[in-house]
Amino acid sequence: MSFSKIISQQKAIKMLKGTLVRNKIPGAFLFIGEPFIGKTTTAIEYVKALNCYNTKDDSCDICISCKKIDKGIHPDIKIIMPDKDIIPIETIRKIEEFISLQPLEGKYKAVIIKNAEKMNRAAANSFLKTLEEPPSNTVIILTCENTDSLPEPLISRTFKIYFKPLSTEAIKKLIPLQEKYEELIRLSMGRPGIFESFDLVKKINFFIDSLQVKKIKKSPWKDNEELKWWFEFLFIVIRDQICLKIRGAENHIHLPIKFRENLLLEDLFEIYDRLQEIRKNIDLNLNRAIVWNYISKTLRSVINE
């Protein structure tokens, strides 16, 4: 898709392009920003640009290298995601082994590690030396929501790039959606990845189905990532209800569930705050069954069944 198609991250892209133009490629990057904001997409474009046969400071999208990376079949590129919410030391060892070998066909070997904050302490510590001095022609890109849970020595060994939430206009350009969901975009607080990282319709349907709380006995989420974007949808819906109370019915999201009419604004704020607290703790390995128990009880208290 090339850098030009990444919207509203001009500052991040300018810095990345600068490294390509000057041919000063840092061995390790840290991409910092909220979930679903374009960090991984940008990381992939950067890795494509590094290996592109046609262009130096961007990806061409049409050469064999760009195409292979897009399809996820380039032998020199790896994308790592947490497994059951953890990146263990074994994964780091495998990465180190992978980058210790020369590139097979690319100019650069690259590893993108999503949610680097999921490295446990042993993994993070064992990775420090590699991050300080990765083999030549190797780029490691770590992404994280914030740097709070990363050890300082790890942060200081990386080249940091910050990602900002997008404007509503920018998101609209990116996602031509049915009008019905326009309000979902408006209330999504600048995180287009909520909509594009999986099939949007599937996601919305899953979310809406899961609001039939009476029918669902078990936690519907298969992992914490799913739980996280599910929460994002729920926050959008609650914010929408709050706006509805304050401003009346204009522009409101139409859902197949109905909130109780006698709900007070304070009730909604209170629920919002309580759910925010849970959301903040998802990374602390909350038990999803217990979370569902709590949320379904909360929802049943505010939804007409």
Stretch that binds Zn ion, among 54-62, 79-87, 105-113, 192-200 (CB under 5 A): 54-62
Instruction: Select from 52, 99, 211, 237 the one that contacts Zn ion (CB under 5 A).
Output: 52
Structure token pair of residue 69: 């990376």
Query: Is the CB of 16 or the CB of 291 nearer to Zn ion?
Result: 16
**Minimal distance, residue 48 CB to Zn ion, in Å:** 6
Contacts of 202 (CB under 8 A, 6+ apart): none
Identify each DSSP E strand in the chain by its residue range: 28-32, 77-80, 109-113, 138-144, 159-162, 258-259, 303-304
The distance of Cα 284 from the centroid of its chain, to the nearest Å, equals 17
Residue 142, classed as helix, strand or coil, is strand
Query: Is the CB of 74 or the CB of 203 nearer to Zn ion?
Result: 74
**Minimal distance, residue 55 CB to Zn ion, in Å:** 6
Stretch that binds Zn ion, among 29-37, 52-60, 140-148, 192-200 (CB under 5 A): 52-60
**Minimal distance, residue 283 CB to Zn ion, in Å:** 36
Instruction: Select from 63, 170, 177, 244 the one that contacts Zn ion (CB under 5 A).
Output: 63
Residue 141: CA atoms inside 13 Å, Cβ hemisphere, count? 26
Query: Is the CB of 48 or the CB of 157 nearer to Zn ion?
Result: 48
**Minimal distance, residue 20 CB to Zn ion, in Å:** 13
Stretch that binds Zn ion, among 17-25, 38-46, 59-67, 120-128 (CB under 5 A): 59-67
**Minimal distance, residue 5 CB to Zn ion, in Å:** 14
Does residue 66 touch Zn ion according to CB under 5 A? yes
Q: Among 302, 257, 248, which residue's Cα sits nearest to residue 275? A: 302
Is the distance from CB of 30 to CB of 142 less than 8 angstroms? yes
Q: What part of residues 104-163 is at the interface with Zn ion (CB under 5 A)?
A: none
**Minimal distance, residue 64 CB to Zn ion, in Å:** 8
Structure token pair of residue 170: 């920018």
Query: Is the CB of 106 or the CB of 220 nearer to Zn ion?
Result: 106
Query: Is the CB of 50 or the CB of 275 nearer to Zn ion?
Result: 50
Instruction: Select from 7, 60, 175, 255 the one that contacts Zn ion (CB under 5 A).
Output: 60
Query: Is the CB of 53 or the CB of 162 nearer to Zn ion?
Result: 53
Distance CA 190, CA 171 (A): 7
Is the distance from CB of 8 to CB of 166 less than 8 angstroms? yes
**Dihedral over alpha carbons 32, 33, 34, 37 (to 10 degrees):** -120
Binding residues for Zn ion, how many (CB under 5 A)? 5
Residue 13, classed as helix, strand or coil, is helix
Mark out the alpha helices in 141-223 (DSSP H runs).
152-156, 168-174, 182-186, 193-196, 200-210
Query: Is the CB of 63 or the CB of 200 nearer to Zn ion?
Result: 63
Stretch that binds Zn ion, among 50-58, 186-194, 198-206, 261-269 (CB under 5 A): 50-58
Where along the sequence are the contacts to Zn ion (CB under 5 A)? 52, 54, 60, 63, 66
